[in-house]
Amino acid sequence: MKTLKKQLDELKQLKFNSYNKDFLLTWEKSEQELRAVVALAELFSEMQKAGKSFRTFDTGLAISIFRDNSTRTRFSFASAANALGLGLADLDEEKSQIAHGETVRETANMISFMAEVIGIRDDMYLGEGNKYMREVSAAVQEGFEKGVLHQRPNVINLQCDIDHPTQAMADLVHLKQHFGSLENLRGKKIAMSWAYSPSYGKPLSVPQGIIGLMTRFGMNVTLAHPEGYGLIPDVVEVAKKNAAASGGRFEMVTSMEESFCGADIVYPKSWAAYSVMQRRTPLLQRGDHAGLKALEKECLANNARFKNWECAEQKMKLTRGGAALYMHCLPADISGVSCAQGEVSAGVFEKYRIATYQEASFKPFVIAAMIYLARVKSPLAALGKLIK
């Protein structure tokens, strides 16, 4: 009870108003709103650990729309919905009228009659995922204003082409737990580094989410990638502005070793180049399988030039005291385990394997916090009753 009350007191010190607001990009939220999500996620985690319910709703739907494969995020959304008392409905587009040409605005209204939240994962198409989420948001807003919907469900970004808010926020909770507080993150160096993978086309949203969020909290963020593997320029500009505003630092280098030097945290993760994703989107939209195959062959050949971009023991020795925290959104490409050669050596991954599971474990609580703060008008009073 002391721990729960302490976390509630932490929330009470924040000035935030997330009621009836969508969560689409972390950099659209105030720092206080982000801190509230972190604090509430920790509170829910402690309640669940103690066997205490934080069920909030008597009825209502949480709707998920996954336009790409998912394990952690899919089950985290389901767990969060269930813990809050919501029923879960997954929209399978192949089994819906979308396959027959139903519009986004029509679909959004038809699935939302008694919904509290819509979680969307749409990361395949550069320039389309976040745009689609905003179309859904606008459609349910219109439905509410016109009296079609009795309430407006909120939209939560479960990963798009630009950002992965639930992952980045779970990573932030993990860092807070590891270093003791968000204040202790100031001045800490995190290396967000590209890493080799024997696959291509991995979204840009995880590295973009990291550089867009961690620069908000005074961290020294180093983005490392080979030449030609850059991120969306607009997001890089966001990271630069965030770092300048928070008193942190943002830099870009073309060497994994350089990024690891003196790092407190390393986050080696493969992604496709921005230019590749630009070329890939129209091929996907046209269903051009031959074009996609040719692009894949070209990209895999280019990736193979950088097989030395692997998080191995020697590189970890370059970090602060040789003991930096290794992070990954999972699943990692583990050399000699899930592939012949990949993002991380088997030895390094095994050393931090349980820590990466703990990192992932915060995601359902982060999602539950996002839903709660968006749907409960007076969250502090309601939380007080829950804890009592």
Q: What is the dihedral of CA 93, 97, 99, 101, to 10 degrees?
A: -130
Give the tokens for residue 5: 């009350």
Please give the angle made by the CA atoms of 22, 26 and 28, to the nearest 5 degrees. Answer: 65
Judge whether 33 and 18 are in contact, CB under 8 Å.
yes
Give the pLDDT confidence score for residue 352 in this predicted structure. Answer: 98
**The pTM is what?**
0.96
* Alpha carbon distance 312, 17 (integer Å): 44
What value does the mean pLDDT of the chain take? 95
Give the pLDDT confidence score for residue 265 in this predicted structure. Answer: 98
Where exactly does CATH 3.40.50.1370 map onto the chain?
Answer: 2-163+362-387, 168-361
Residue 102, pLDDT > 90, answer: no
The 10s digit of each residue's pLDDT in 305-347 is 999 999 999 999 999 999 999 999 999 999 999 999 999 999 9
The 10s digit of each residue's pLDDT in 256-295 is 999 999 999 999 999 998 999 999 999 988 999 999 999 9
Name which of 18, 19, 2 is nearest 10 in CA terms.
Answer: 2
Task: Read off the pLDDT band of 225 (50, 70, 90).
Answer: very high
* Residue ranges in the chain assigned as alpha helix (H): 2-12, 31-49, 72-84, 104-110, 129-145, 165-179, 205-214, 233-246, 256-260, 274-286, 289-303, 313-316, 346-361, 363-375, 379-387
What mean pLDDT comes out for the span 130-135?
Answer: 97
Residue 157, pLDDT > 90, answer: yes
Q: What is the dihedral of CA 136, 113, 65, 275, to 10 degrees?
A: 0
2-163+362-387 classified as CATH 1.10.3720.10: no
* Alpha carbon distance 30, 36 (integer Å): 10
* Alpha carbon distance 388, 383 (integer Å): 8
The 10s digit of each residue's pLDDT in 83-95 is 999 999 999 887 6
Name which of 285, 280, 275 is nearest 232 in CA terms.
Answer: 275
What mean pLDDT comes out for the span 129-134?
Answer: 97
Class of domain 168-361: alpha beta
Give the pLDDT confidence score for residue 1 in this predicted structure. Answer: 78
Judge whether 249 and 243 are in contact, CB under 8 Å.
yes
Three-class DSSP category at 198 = coil
Give the tokens for residue 117: 């939240």
